[in-house]
């Protein structure tokens, strides 16, 4: 029997944690951090406690209660952990029912983050670009127990809790087994990058290999366009027919043709079931403008032409495509694009996975911001050595403000007292909307910073306009997700027998699919947490 069970990622955007079972074969489809659920309980200064391993994420419902699925080093010192979970209607004992792989659609943390808690012997299947992006994000990010996607530091019991194991010089971090689509194209340099960490703790490396036998099920990977390189959809050949999963995708990006080709290929499989994302599924938003990357380029180009003083471009992290767009238009406007060290690191990783993506060195006038710091992490030190003369510090930016476009976002505003942008400098906002209360608070703070330095802004969601940008300033951001019309097209194109809407709003998203997917023969099943869907 084939069944799909959805945990997080149903009735909410992000946090996808799905399990596909066919007889004894078991695969997870993404295993993300469920940010909306997590945000109900936690915030910046209130977090799951690393010293208690699985206790907090399991008790708070951030991980499904599936015994045997998780790292055993995170269960130490918690003898009644599973006794407590047994009362849950969703409790299952998988100790004799192993999971054979995680299909990771892309490296955004709401799809990848909670791989951190999975057993270290479960292979992760992904595109090479997704694997390398995930590694770059971990290498250059904060070290904490919720972000051990590519390699994990073993924990040991000490006193009343868990700590990172022993002497960091002796106990290595353990790399997860990744199986990547496109492994045959990787160079020696790519493998060397994969098998080392920039951190002080040594890595017990596991070489990258091609996709193996995922519990005996054939898995195919189809590249799609999204706001991070490497995103793909998957199809799995089960005993009941093909099951397809979109991951996150769009049709209106520069790589929309890639998505369309993948949709056609998925159609030819005649899938029995499709798990389809519905981030922007909303009847009320139908007919709203849907700017493309090309529109963003045009609009941003106009703004740069007339800009005076410093320009700060805020397009959110990890959006390599947008970065390349801004590099091109900054160059045309006679300005150098200055990216953060972590962006340069991600670009480097992406280039190593796919030489079609230029490395930072190949982009004319691309500079890297040398943030003044007392102590540099090792990865950052390596970037500074590599980029040498291409590093630029705040003093230089301050002295030649008309020469730069600085890629900062909200969390980099602390640099402004050193840089002191000239009044009339421009903050160009090219990222998502203010879709949550926390984000709205951040936007209020962002505006206070800009007012304080007398900076102009375009594209910013404004409180007085109901958190939308001024009409004449729209079109500076293209979403990573298909618009309502695009989603209907995705379903029509793939034409599955059963559609399961995921990664979508509980009411508006489902209502959209119900109203708009009128294809004869497509049945919609609305998933619920932990309720198996039988194929
Ligand atoms: Zn995403």
- Confidence (pLDDT) at 409: 93
CA of 321 to the centre of ligand 1 (A): 14
- Phi, psi for 205 (deg, rounded to 5): -75, 155
Measured in Å, residue 410 CA sits from the centre of ligand 1 at 20
Dist. CA 226 → ligand 1 center (Å):
7
DSSP 180-202: EETGGG--HHHHHHHT--SSSS-
Residue 209 CA to residue 434 CA, distance in Å, equals 41
What is the pLDDT at residue 497?
A: 95
For residue 10, the CA-to-ligand 1 centroid distance in Å is: 15
Backbone angles phi, psi at 445, to 5 degrees: -65, -45
Beta strands in 279-365 (DSSP E): 311-314, 336-339
Report how far residue 106's alpha carbon sits from residue 245's, in angstroms, rounded to the nearest whole number: 12
How do 404-407 and 218-223 pair as beta strands? Answer: unpaired
Q: How far is the CA of 15 from the centre of ligand 1 (A)?
A: 10
In the chain, what is the greatest distance between 2 CA atoms, to the nearest angstrom? 68
In angstroms, what is the span from residue 504 Cα to ligand 1's centroid? Answer: 12
Q: Virtual CA dihedral for 456, 293, 345, 428, nearest 10 degrees?
A: 0
Ligand 1 center from residue 106 Cα (angstroms)? 7
Residues with CB under 5 A from ligand 1 (ion): 108, 248
CA R_g for the chain: 23
Whole-angstrom distance, CA of residue 150 vs CA of residue 228: 17
Q: Look up tokens 């180009």; give the residue.
A: 301
The predicted model scores a pTM of 0.96
Q: What does the block give as tokens for 150?
A: 């590519």
Q: What gap in Å lies between CA 135 and CA 145, rounded to an integer?
A: 15
How many whole angstroms from 270 Cα to the centroid of ligand 1? 25
Q: Are 204 and 192 in contact (CB under 8 A)?
A: no
Cβ pair 388, 361 in contact under 8 A: no
Residue 204 Cα to ligand 1 middle (Å): 29
- Mean pLDDT over the full length of the chain: 94
Distance from residue 334's CA to the centre of ligand 1 (Å)? 33
458, two tokens:
């375009």
Which ranges of 480-533 does DSSP label H, i.e. alpha helix?
A: 484-494, 508-516
Contact predicate 413/450, CB 8 Å = no
Q: Mind listing the pLDDT tens digit of every residue in the chain (535 residues)?
A: 999 999 999 988 889 999 999 999 999 999 999 999 999 999 889 999 999 999 999 999 999 999 999 999 999 989 899 998 998 999 999 999 999 999 999 999 999 999 999 999 999 999 999 999 999 999 999 888 999 999 999 999 998 899 998 888 889 999 999 999 999 999 999 999 999 998 889 999 999 999 988 999 999 999 999 999 999 999 999 999 999 999 999 999 889 999 999 999 999 999 999 999 999 999 998 888 889 989 999 999 999 999 999 999 999 778 899 999 999 999 999 999 999 999 999 999 999 999 999 988 889 889 999 999 989 999 999 999 999 999 999 999 999 999 999 999 999 999 999 999 999 999 999 988 878 888 899 999 999 999 999 999 999 999 999 998 998 888 889 899 999 999 999 999 999 999 999 999 888 999 999 888 877 778 999 999 999 999 8
What is the reported pLDDT for 395? 96
pLDDT at 299: 94
Per-residue tokens: 495: 């034409």
Asked whether the beta carbons of 109 and 150 are under 8 A apart, the reply is no
Q: How far is the CA of 44 from the centre of ligand 1 (A)?
A: 21
Q: Beta-carbon neighbour count of residue 347 at 10 Å?
A: 26
Q: Distance from CA of residue 135 to its chain's centroid?
A: 12
Are residues 179 and 210 in contact, defined by beta-carbon separation less than 8 angstroms? yes
Cα 319 to ligand 1 centroid, rounded to whole Å: 10
How far apart are the CA of 374 and the centre of ligand 1, in A? 34
Dist. CA 277 → ligand 1 center (Å): 10
User: Domains, the chain, ranges and CATH?
Assistant: 2-282+481-534 (3.60.15.10), 293-473 (3.40.50.10710)
Which pair of tokens denotes residue 123?
A: 């292979």
Chain position carrying tokens 């495509």: 321
Between the CA of 227 and the centroid of ligand 1 the distance, in Å, is 7
Q: What is the pLDDT of residue 518?
A: 72
If you measure from the C-alpha of residue 110 to the centroid of ligand 1, how many angstroms do you get, rounded to a whole number?
A: 7
Are 426 and 307 in contact by the 8 Å Cβ rule? The answer is: yes
As a residue count, the chain comes to 535
Give the pLDDT of residue 237: 97
Query: Which tokens hold the place of 301?
Result: 């180009």
DSSP secondary structure, 48-73, as one string:
--GGGTTHHHHHTTSS--EETSB-GG
Q: How far apart are CA 410 and CA 429, in angstroms?
A: 10
Mapping DSSP onto H, E and C, the string for 257-270 reads: HHHHHHHHHHHHCC
C-alpha 34 to ligand 1 mean position (Å): 12
Over residues 405-445, the pLDDT tens digits come to: 999 999 999 999 999 999 999 999 998 887 888 889 999 99
Output the pLDDT for position 143. Answer: 85
* The two three-digit tokens of residue 59, written as one number: 């008790």
The predicted pLDDT at position 139 comes to 96
Contact between 103 and 115 (Cβ < 8 Å): no
∠ CA 160-162-164, nearest 5°, is 145
Whole-number Cα distances in Å, 194 to 127, 142, 175, 197, 353: 14, 18, 9, 8, 10
User: How far is ligand 1, taken at its centre, from the CA of residue 231, in Å?
Assistant: 8
What value, to the nearest 5°, has the Cα angle with vertex 338 and ends 467 and 150?
A: 80
pLDDT score, position 140 = 95
Q: Would you call 453 helix, strand, or coil by DSSP? A: coil
Q: pLDDT tens digits, residue range 243-285?
A: 999 999 999 988 999 999 999 999 999 999 999 999 999 999 8
Q: How far is the CA of 393 from the centre of ligand 1 (A)?
A: 32
b/e sequence 373-393, b meaning 16+ C-beta within 10 Å: eeeebebbebbbebbeebbbe
Distance 316 CA to ligand 1 centre (A): 12
Q: 369 CA to middle of ligand 1, Å?
A: 26
In this prediction, residue 378 carries a pLDDT of 92
| CA of residue 67 to ligand 1 center, whole Å | 28
Per-residue burial over 479-515, b = 16 or more CB atoms within 10 Å of its CB, e = otherwise: bbbbbbbbbbbbbeebbbebbbbbbbbeeebbbbbee
Distance from Cα 517 to the centre of ligand 1, integer Å = 23
* Amino acid 534: pLDDT: 95
């Amino acid at each position: 029997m084939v069944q799909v069970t959805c945990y997080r990622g149903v009735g909410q955007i992000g946090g996808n944690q799905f399990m596909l079972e066919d007889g004894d074969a078991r695969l997870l489809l993404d295993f993300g951090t469920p940010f909306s659920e997590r945000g109900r309980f936690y915030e910046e200064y209130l977090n799951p406690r690393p010293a208690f391993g699985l206790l907090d994420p399991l008790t708070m419902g951030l991980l499904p209660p599936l015994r045997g699925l998780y790292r055993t080093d995170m269960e130490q010192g918690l003898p009644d952990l599973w006794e407590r979970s047994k009362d849950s209607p969703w409790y299952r004992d998988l100790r004799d029912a192993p999971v054979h792989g995680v299909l990771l659609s892309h490296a955004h943390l709401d799809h990848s983050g909670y791989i951190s808690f999975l057993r270290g012997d479960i292979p992760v299947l992904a595109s090479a670009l997704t694997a390398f992006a995930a590694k770059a994000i971990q290498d250059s990010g904060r070290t904490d127990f919720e972000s051990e996607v590519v390699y994990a530091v073993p924990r040991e019991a000490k006193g009343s809790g868990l700590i990172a194991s022993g002497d960091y010089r002796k106990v290595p971090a353990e790399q997860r087994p990744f199986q990547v689509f496109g492994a045959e194209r990787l160079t020696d340099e790519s493998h060397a990058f994969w098998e080392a960490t920039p951190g002080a703790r040594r890595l017990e490396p596991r070489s990258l290999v091609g996709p193996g036998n995922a519990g005996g099920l054939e898995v195919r990977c189809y590249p799609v366009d999204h706001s991070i390189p490497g995103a793909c959809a998957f199809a799995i050949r089960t005993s009941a027919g093909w099951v397809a999963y979109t991951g996150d995708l769009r049709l209106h990006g520069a790589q929309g043709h890639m998505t369309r080709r993948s949709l056609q290929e998925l159609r030819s499989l005649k899938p029995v079931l499709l798990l389809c994302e519905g981030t922007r599924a909303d009847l009320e938003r139908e007919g709203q403008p849907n700017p493309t990357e090309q529109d963003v380029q045009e609009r941003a180009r106009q703004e740069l032409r007339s800009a005076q003083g410093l320009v700060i471009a805020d397009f959110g992290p990890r959006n390599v495509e947008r970065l390349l767009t801004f590099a091109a238009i900054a160059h045309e406007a006679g300005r150098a694009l200055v990216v953060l060290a972590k962006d340069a690191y991600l670009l480097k990783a992406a280039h190593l996975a796919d030489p079609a993506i230029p490395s930072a060195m190949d982009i004319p006038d691309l500079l890297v911001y040398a943030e003044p710091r007392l102590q540099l992490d090792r990865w950052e030190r390596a970037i500074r050595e590599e980029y040498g003369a291409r590093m630029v510090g705040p003093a230089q930016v301050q002295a030649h403000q008309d020469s730069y476009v600085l890629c900062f976002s909200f969390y980099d505003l602390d640099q402004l007292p050193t840089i002191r942008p000239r009044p009339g400098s421009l903050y160009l906002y090219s990222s998502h909307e203010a879709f949550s209360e926390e984000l709205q608070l951040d936007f209020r703070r962002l505006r206070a910073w800009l007012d304080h330095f007398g900076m102009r802004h375009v594209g910013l969601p404004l409180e007085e306009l109901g958190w939308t940008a001024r009409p004449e300033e729209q079109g500076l951001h293209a979403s990573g997700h298909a618009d309502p019309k695009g989603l209907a097209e995705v379903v029509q194109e793939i034409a599955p027998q059963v559609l399961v809407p995921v990664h979508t709003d509980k009411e508006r998203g489902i209502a959209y699919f119900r109203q708009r997917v009128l294809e004869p023969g497509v049945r919609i099943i609305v998933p619920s947490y932990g309720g198996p869907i039988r194929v």
